């Protein structure tokens, strides 16, 4: 947005003291400070000019001595500094009266080297002699390339012996640089005074046109260390050249190497200032610069939704600064910062203000007084930097301006972003009841149709019914129903505004955020939303380079137009041309861009590896990792590119990556795990190495710490009810009471008040009194020990000495009244309840051990878990057999040998087969059972004597469930791939303009077509097709779905197609027979390469066998019958092919 609210202007004025700021700056020293220089004197402006350039200075007594003479040495300094010559080199002048150590030697050397002076005929320079007016004339004419002009009619009668200078004097007089002492006297032999010397230079550089007219400069900024961008008040009617500019760096004139004029902006290329700090002056406008290194001068939060980052240099068109992915927000604990609605706060827009301020707009506002941190990636400054933030707003919002921007639209500009609502995710609006638009005389009230929120709520565009006319006077009433994000209300107010029609053409005036896949163009006015009638062909109007590179998304926000391109139409590196077809844009006055707009943008190819965006969302069996850019699918889904480390930095054991899926937007990776679950509240590190973006930039050992999220808070009441058992072991002298508590997540242990191994966090009732376990341990009758198992379980053993107790061995015979007090998990989250109590009965140790979650997880791997840790185990007691024929795998079925292992958690069992089972957990359609022999009763037990068997039970079996998702089989048709219509992964048939594409899967599939289609995208030559229940003769660019056993059939109606893209994302309604969701897949079908097999028209086949002719005719009728079912159609086609083959053989 061109307009910036007051809060930003205040920010600039008060904070950016070390940044690059352009303005017309008055010289630090001026003639007014000299006691002998009056403001009204003819030479005051000239002295101001040279004193400001630090070419001349005053004397210690505060005077300038304007009538004092100038020596030739002093004149050499004035000229060398004025011309910006190099005076730092070695002084090597061949004048006998100028020594290399003289203070003036460098200046004389510079002038000699430039050919400005040559000395006297006797070879001397005479540095201490005063400079005459004739000598000064020659020096000026030679120095500035003015030369001699003897044709000028001079009335001076006193040139006499100074005839050698007549041509130079004539040239300066003709240029209006010098005048005589009077009409007939020039005074060539008189000494040049200090005031006259200043006037010579001032008139040459400022007032005369001999050097080409200096253009007025209204604004100045650096694009980079060697490129200065000058903004003129208006477009120059004459050709702009280097001669139109006088450029000084720290008082030294510098050459302009290249000039490129683009409207009001002129881009000047000068000598590189990289590594330097100083001031540049262009035609009297000064600009401080610091190119030692890019740095942040200040960071502030002007409101609750924006962050202003002030840099020490101009960062306009700096791709790294404008990249939203280079900014992340953290809370004070280093985790993702959440905005007011509890979602992760993200930077969604970066706007460069006044050249050096990056305004970061967030996806929503923060709560007032919220603290956090801004992390700026090393791509911006060379190293990662972190700034503390406090979002604070105590200012009442104001209306900055009201403008009529169209024949039925008024814009209101606020001092800060105002809170607003979304009618849908892309349509932000204000409450229209807050606004009222009337004619100024009150005779007419305009109906408000809509109030758009623009630029994150800093602007409101009021669209009304009716039409404004040029000269109409309106009143805009704004009620106090509007609030900023801090809750401060806008004061009720009204504004009068006059309608001034604007018929100026729509133009692109700038751009930002130009990357391979998107660019934001800045227009000279607000643009109306696209008309519904144009939306069907909208994207065709926006493209780059040529019409083939069409946009795939276009977004409007006031005067900003964001155009996005998909992977196949990316913008090229360097200069790219964006095209907007004529009549594609319409402003609020109804003006359209009559001609195609062509605009050049500079695109910088991404050479930075992908980065993890925010925290990893981790549960015990899944990791969700967001990246800051689109990824290459092959590397993103490669298991070898990810490693999980435990908190000791060791690779986790018994937990493997089972699958990795890249999201449809290619920025999120979902990693599914198998084997042991990650521990609830556990701390881990994910190492990501070799994951590439679309440009091939690969990650190098990114290490991202994460904690496992446990969805529910710790509820002690549930823990003690479901996961706490009491075991009793007694003899004549003592009884051991063992209490086992399973928290089912990593917990805090060690020296902490709420640690689970702190005895004071548990109590038991003995007699009529309750004792914490540390108190009980102090009593002679009891000994208490506590151990933790994997930081998730607690084993408490209370030993009671019978002879120390009144009740002896009958202590707690009916159970223990047990209480858990507040504890916390490894993340530091306290239990929801302060305590929980239950009388724990003695455990029934029989029948408590169970086999759970037995399923085929991969085609060669079966996994199950015991519900408790195993103390003794014998794998020979477990076997696999077919459910009906009772064939033992590895014995009767030798190819299906297997290994069986108990994991380190003493709970998880993995059976790895030598031969794959069918994906539905069968062998030739026969289910598989896990058989547990009766021998397990003796050697598969827990530490507390629990077994898998009830008393009296014998051998039993459990069916292996199908846990393997159906997958697209890209080799399903491999055996037929040599035939027309077949490729390894699909079969293609055609009937007129209907293509039938058949995909095969690893097992039978199920689902309703319309529900499958919600996440199935079918494109034909890049155009997305519509799903329909049935194809019709009139339809086009549509498809329908059918399922037959393990095949998905896609029928496409498209009059003109050669390539089909099929992309499916997981869907609860597309499953296998066991309700496992079909895995995501994508298929590219090249119809030309497939050599599509046509359904044969037998009416064109000449045959002699009448019986066969009748058979063919009958089949044709079946094919033509509209009521024919899919199965009949398929059978008819097969029969027709067989018949045709028979006819061919007969002939």
- CA 299, CA 357: separation in Å to the nearest integer? 9
789 belongs to a structural domain:
yes
Three-state DSSP state, 172: helix
The phi, psi pair for 606, rounded to 5°, reads: -70, 120
Each residue of 286-343: pLDDT tens digit? Answer: 888 888 888 887 899 989 999 999 888 888 878 889 889 899 999 988 888 999 988 8
- CA 320, CA 378: separation in Å to the nearest integer? 10
Asked if residues 988 and 996 have their Cβ atoms less than 8 Å apart, the reply is yes
Triad 579, 584, 586: Cα angle to 5°: 125
**Lookup: tokens for 318:** 């700096």
Same-domain status, 1011 and 1038: yes
Q: How confident is the model at residue 32 (pLDDT cuts 50, 70, 90)?
A: low
Mapped to the 3 state alphabet, what secondary structure does 850-898 carry?
Answer: CEEEEEEEECCEEEEEECCCCCECCHHHEEEEECCCCCEECCCEHHHCE
* Mean pLDDT confidence for 1115-1135: 57
Q: 871-905 in b/e burial notation, b at 16+ Cβ within 10 A?
A: eeeeeebbbbbbeeeebebbeebeebebebebbeb
Roughly what angle, to the nearest 10 degrees, separates helices 133-143 and 194-202?
30
For residue 867, the domain's CATH number is 2.60.40.1220
pLDDT of residue 776 exceeding 90, the answer is: yes
28 belongs to a structural domain:
no
- CA 797, CA 780: separation in Å to the nearest integer? 15
- CA 483, CA 490: separation in Å to the nearest integer? 6
Beta-carbon contacts of residue 84 (< 8 Å; ≥ 6 apart): 248, 249, 251, 252, 253, 254
Q: How confident is the model at residue 141 (pLDDT cuts 50, 70, 90)?
A: confident
325: which DSSP letter? G
Same-domain status, 284 and 301: no
- Range with the lowest mean pLDDT among 749-753, 798-802, 840-844, 1071-1075? 840-844
Q: Where are the alpha helices (DSSP H) in 423-582?
A: 532-535
704 membership: H or E segment, kind and range: strand 702-707
Beta-carbon contacts of residue 442 (< 8 Å; ≥ 6 apart): 475
What is residue 1100's predicted lDDT score, i.e. its pLDDT?
A: 39
Each residue of 511-529: pLDDT tens digit? Answer: 988 888 889 999 999 999 9
701: which DSSP letter? S
Same-domain status, 1013 and 1084: yes
- CA 548, CA 824: separation in Å to the nearest integer? 60
The phi, psi pair for 723, rounded to 5°, reads: -125, 30
Same-domain status, 836 and 855: no
- Among the three residues 291, 306, 341, which one is the final residue of a domain in this structure? 291
Asked if residues 847 and 777 have their Cβ atoms less than 8 Å apart, the reply is no
* Mean pLDDT confidence for 977-981: 74
Same-domain status, 193 and 71: yes
Which of 412, 512, 393 is closest to 455 using CA atoms?
412
431 belongs to a structural domain:
yes
CA–CA distance from 372 to each of 48, 310, 334, 393, 486 (Å)?
A: 50, 18, 9, 15, 17
Three-state DSSP state, 698: strand
1082 belongs to a structural domain:
yes
596 belongs to a structural domain:
yes
pLDDT of residue 944 exceeding 90, the answer is: no
Each residue of 147-175: pLDDT tens digit? Answer: 888 888 888 988 888 888 898 898 888 88
Neighbours of 447 (CB within 10 A): 10
Neighbours of 160 (CB within 10 A): 9
- CA 935, CA 944: separation in Å to the nearest integer? 18
Which DSSP string do the residues of 1027-1096 spell out, in sequence order?
E-SS--SS--SEEEEEEETTEEEEEEE-SS-SEEEEEE---TTEEETT-PBPPPEEEEEETTTTTPEEPP
Neighbouring-strand partners of residue 497: 474
Q: How confident is the model at residue 1145 (pLDDT cuts 50, 70, 90)?
A: very low
User: Cα 366 to chain center, whole Å?
Assistant: 19
**Lookup: tokens for 1073:** 């027979």
What is residue 1114's predicted lDDT score, i.e. its pLDDT?
A: 60
Q: How confident is the model at residue 17 (pLDDT cuts 50, 70, 90)?
A: very low
- Among the three residues 603, 637, 654, which one is the final residue of a domain in this structure? 603
Which DSSP string do the residues of 803-852 spell out, in sequence order?
GGSSSGGGTTTT-EEEEEE--BBTT-PBPSSSEEEEEEPBP--TT---EE
What is residue 441's predicted lDDT score, i.e. its pLDDT?
A: 93
Beta-carbon contacts of residue 546 (< 8 Å; ≥ 6 apart): none
Three-state DSSP state, 1106: helix
Percentages (nearest 5) of helix, strand, coil residues in the chain? 15, 35, 45
Q: How confident is the model at residue 844 (pLDDT cuts 50, 70, 90)?
A: low
Which of 72, 70, 118, 126 is closest to 96 using CA atoms?
126
591 belongs to a structural domain:
yes
Q: 979-1001 in b/e burial notation, b at 16+ Cβ within 10 A?
A: eebbbebbbbbbeeebbbbbbbb
The phi, psi pair for 73, rounded to 5°, reads: -65, -45
Q: How confident is the model at residue 31 (pLDDT cuts 50, 70, 90)?
A: low
- CA 998, CA 1048: separation in Å to the nearest integer? 6
901 membership: H or E segment, kind and range: strand 898-902
Same-domain status, 562 and 667: no
- Range with the lowest mean pLDDT among 562-576, 698-712, 957-971, 1058-1072? 698-712
Asked if residues 57 and 118 have their Cβ atoms less than 8 Å apart, the reply is no
- CA 1091, CA 1112: separation in Å to the nearest integer? 25
12 belongs to a structural domain:
no
Which of 481, 738, 523 is closest to 1 using CA atoms?
523
**Residue in this structure with the two tokens 């009671």, named with its chain if needed:** 800
Which of 115, 111, 606 is closest to 322 using CA atoms?
606
Average pLDDT, the chain: 85
What is residue 16's predicted lDDT score, i.e. its pLDDT?
A: 35
- Among the three residues 333, 365, 388, which one is the final residue of a domain in this structure? 388
- CA 52, CA 248: separation in Å to the nearest integer? 12
Neighbours of 475 (CB within 10 A): 17
- CA 168, CA 132: separation in Å to the nearest integer? 13
Query: What whole-number percentage of the chain has pLDDT above 90?
Result: 41
Beta-carbon contacts of residue 496 (< 8 Å; ≥ 6 apart): 440, 473, 474, 475, 476
Each residue of 787-825: pLDDT tens digit? Answer: 998 888 999 999 999 999 988 889 998 899 999 999 988
What is residue 1002's predicted lDDT score, i.e. its pLDDT?
A: 92
* Mean pLDDT confidence for 545-553: 89
Same-domain status, 98 and 172: yes
21 belongs to a structural domain:
no
Same-domain status, 1054 and 1113: no
Each residue of 679-728: pLDDT tens digit? Answer: 766 789 999 999 998 888 999 999 999 988 765 678 888 888 777 888 88
**Number of alpha carbons in the 13 Å side-chain half-sphere of residue 107:** 19
- CA 906, CA 908: separation in Å to the nearest integer? 6
* 324 class by beta-carbon count within 10 Å (0-12 exposed, 13-18 middle, 19+ buried): middle
328 membership: H or E segment, kind and range: strand 327-330
Domain hosting 987: range is: 974-1092
In the chain, the number of structural domains is 9
Same-domain status, 650 and 507: no
Beta-carbon contacts of residue 650 (< 8 Å; ≥ 6 apart): none
Same-domain status, 589 and 732: no
Same-domain status, 135 and 90: yes
Same-domain status, 734 and 832: yes
Q: Cα-atom radius of gyration of the chain, to the nearest Å?
A: 43
Asked if residues 407 and 468 have their Cβ atoms less than 8 Å apart, the reply is yes
Asked if residues 250 and 278 have their Cβ atoms less than 8 Å apart, the reply is yes
pLDDT of residue 30 exceeding 60, the answer is: no
- CA 319, CA 312: separation in Å to the nearest integer? 16
Asked if residues 313 and 19 have their Cβ atoms less than 8 Å apart, the reply is yes
For residue 240, the domain's CATH number is 2.60.40.1130
What is residue 675's predicted lDDT score, i.e. its pLDDT?
A: 74
* Mean pLDDT confidence for 636-652: 92
Contacts 24+ apart (CB under 8 A), 808-811: 809/730, 809/732, 809/735, 811/735, 811/766
* 639 vs 31: which has the higher pLDDT: 639
pLDDT of residue 477 exceeding 90, the answer is: yes
* Mean pLDDT confidence for 964-973: 91
Each residue of 563-605: pLDDT tens digit? Answer: 999 878 888 888 899 999 999 999 999 999 999 999 999 887 7
């Amino acid at each position: 947005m061109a307009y910036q609210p007051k809060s930003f202007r205040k920010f600039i004025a008060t904070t950016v003291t070390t940044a690059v700021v352009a303005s017309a700056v008055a010289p630090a020293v001026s003639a007014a400070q000299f006691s002998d220089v009056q403001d009204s004197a003819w030479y005051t402006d000239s002295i101001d000019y040279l004193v400001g350039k630090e070419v001349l200075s005053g004397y210690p007594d505060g005077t300038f001595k304007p009538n004092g003479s100038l020596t030739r040495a002093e004149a050499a300094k004035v000229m060398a500094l004025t011309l910006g010559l190099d005076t730092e080199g070695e002084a090597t002048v061949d004048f006998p009266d100028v020594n290399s150590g003289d203070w003036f030697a460098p200046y004389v050397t510079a002038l000699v080297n430039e050919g400005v002076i040559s000395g006297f005929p006797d070879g001397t320079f005479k540095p201490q002699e005063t400079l005459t007016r004739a000598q000064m004339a020659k020096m000026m004419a030679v120095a500035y390339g003015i030369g001699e002009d003897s044709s000028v009619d001079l009335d001076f009668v006193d040139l006499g012996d100074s005839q050698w200078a007549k041509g130079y004097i004539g040239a300066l007089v003709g240029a209006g640089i010098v005048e005589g002492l009077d009409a007939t006297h020039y005074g060539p032999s008189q000494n040049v005074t200090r005031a006259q010397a200043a006037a010579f230079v001032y008139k040459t550089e400022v007032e005369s046109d001999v050097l080409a007219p200096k253009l007025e400069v209204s604004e100045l900024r650096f694009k980079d260390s060697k490129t200065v961008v000058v903004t003129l008040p208006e477009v120059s009617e004459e050709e702009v050249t280097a001669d139109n500019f006088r450029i000084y760096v720290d008082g030294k004139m510098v050459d302009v190497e290249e000039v490129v004029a683009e409207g009001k902006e002129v881009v000047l290329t000068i000598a590189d200032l990289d590594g330097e700090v100083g001031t540049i002056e262009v035609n009297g406008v000064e600009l401080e610069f610091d190119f030692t290194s890019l740095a942040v001068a200040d960071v502030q939060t002007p409101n609750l939704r924006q962050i202003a980052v002030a840099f020490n240099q101009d960062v306009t068109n700096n791709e790294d600064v404008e990249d939203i992915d280079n900014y992340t927000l953290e809370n004070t604990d280093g985790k993702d910062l959440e905005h007011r609605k509890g979602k992760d706060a993200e930077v969604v827009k970066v706007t460069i203000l006044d050249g050096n301020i990056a305004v970061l707009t967030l996806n929503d506002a923060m709560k007032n007084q919220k603290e956090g941190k801004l992390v700026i990636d090393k791509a911006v400054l060379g190293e990662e930097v972190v700034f503390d933030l406090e979002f604070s707003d105590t200012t009442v919002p104001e209306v900055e301006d009201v403008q009529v921007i169209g024949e039925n639209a008024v814009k209101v500009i606020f001092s800060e972003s105002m809170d607003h609502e979304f009618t849908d995710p892309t349509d932000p609006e204000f409450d229209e009841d807050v606004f009222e638009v009337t004619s100024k005389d009150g005779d007419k009230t305009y109906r408000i149709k809509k109030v758009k929120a623009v630029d994150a709520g800093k602007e409101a565009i009021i669209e009304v019914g009716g039409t404004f006319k040029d000269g109409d006077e309106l009143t805009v009433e704004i009620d106090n129903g509007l609030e900023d994000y801090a809750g401060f209300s806008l004061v009720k107010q009204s504004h009068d505004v006059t309608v001034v029609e604007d018929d100026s053409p729509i133009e692109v005036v700038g751009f930002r955020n130009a990357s391979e896949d998107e660019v934001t163009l800045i227009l000279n006015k607000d643009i109306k939303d696209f008309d519904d009638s144009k939306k069907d062909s909208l994207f065709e109007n926006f493209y780059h380079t040529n019409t083939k590179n069409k946009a795939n998304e276009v977004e409007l926000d006031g005067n900003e137009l964001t155009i996005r391109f998909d992977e196949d139409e990316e913008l090229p590196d360097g200069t790219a041309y964006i095209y907007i077809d004529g009549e594609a844009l319409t402003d609020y006055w109804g003006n359209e861009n009559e001609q195609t707009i062509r605009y050049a943008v500079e695109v910088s190819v991404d050479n930075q590896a992908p980065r993890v965006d925010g925290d990893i969302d981790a549960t015990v069996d899944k990791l969700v990792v967001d990246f800051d850019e689109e990824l290459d699918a092959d590397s993103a889904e490669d298991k070898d590119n990810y490693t999980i480390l435990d908190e000791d930095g060791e690779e986790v054991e018994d937990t493997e990556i089972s699958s990795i899926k890249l999201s449809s937007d290619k920025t999120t990776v979902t990693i599914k795990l198998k084997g042991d679950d990650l521990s609830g509240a556990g701390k881990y590190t994910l190492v990501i190495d070799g994951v590439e973006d679309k440009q091939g930039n690969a990650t190098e050992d990114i290490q991202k710490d994460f904690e496992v999220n446990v969805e529910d808070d710790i509820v002690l009441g549930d823990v003690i009810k479901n996961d706490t058992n009491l075991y009793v072991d007694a003899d004549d002298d003592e009884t051991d009471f063992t209490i086992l508590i399973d928290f089912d997540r990593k917990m805090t242990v060690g020296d902490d008040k709420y640690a689970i191994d702190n005895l004071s966090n548990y109590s038991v009732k003995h007699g009529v009194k309750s004792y914490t376990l540390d108190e009980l341990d102090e009593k002679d009758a009891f000994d208490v020990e506590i151990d933790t198992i994997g930081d998730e379980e607690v084993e408490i053993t209370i030993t009671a000495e019978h002879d120390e107790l009144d009740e002896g061995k009958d202590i707690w015979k009916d159970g223990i009244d047990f209480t858990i007090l507040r504890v916390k998990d490894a993340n530091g989250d306290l239990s929801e309840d302060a305590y929980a109590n239950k009388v724990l009965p003695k455990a029934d140790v029989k029948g408590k051990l169970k086999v759970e979650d037995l399923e085929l997880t991969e085609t060669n791997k079966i996994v199950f878990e015991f519900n408790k840790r195993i103390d003794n185990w014998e794998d020979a007691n477990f076997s696999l057999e077919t459910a009906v024929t009772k064939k033992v795998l590895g014995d009767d079925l030798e190819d299906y040998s297997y290994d069986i292992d108990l994991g380190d958690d003493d709970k998880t069992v993995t059976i790895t087969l030598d031969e794959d089972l069918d994906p539905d957990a069968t062998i030739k359609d026969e289910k598989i059972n896990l058989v547990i022999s009766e021998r397990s009763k003796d050697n598969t037990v827990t530490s507390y004597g629990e077994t898998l068997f009830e008393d009296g039970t014998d051998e039993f079996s459990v069916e292996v469930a199908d846990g393997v998702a159906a997958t697209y089989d890209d080799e399903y048709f491999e055996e037929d791939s040599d035939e027309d219509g077949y490729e390894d992964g699909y079969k293609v048939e055609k009937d007129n303009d209907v293509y039938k594409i058949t995909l095969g899967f690893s097992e039978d599939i199920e689902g309703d077509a319309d529900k499958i289609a919600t996440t199935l995208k079918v494109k034909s030559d890049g155009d997305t097709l519509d799903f329909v229940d049935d194809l019709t003769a009139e339809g086009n660019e549509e498809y329908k779905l059918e399922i037959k056993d393990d095949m998905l059939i896609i029928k496409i109606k498209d009059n003109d197609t050669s390539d089909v893209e099929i992309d499916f994302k997981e869907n609860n309604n597309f499953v296998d027979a066991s309700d496992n969701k079909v895995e995501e897949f994508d298929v590219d079908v090249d119809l030309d390469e497939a050599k599509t097999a046509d359904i044969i028209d037998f009416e064109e086949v000449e045959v002699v066998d009448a019986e066969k002719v009748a058979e063919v005719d009958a089949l044709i009728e079946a094919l033509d019958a509209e009521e024919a079912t899919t199965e009949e159609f398929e059978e008819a086609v097969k029969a027709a092919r067989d018949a045709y083959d028979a006819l061919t053989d007969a002939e």
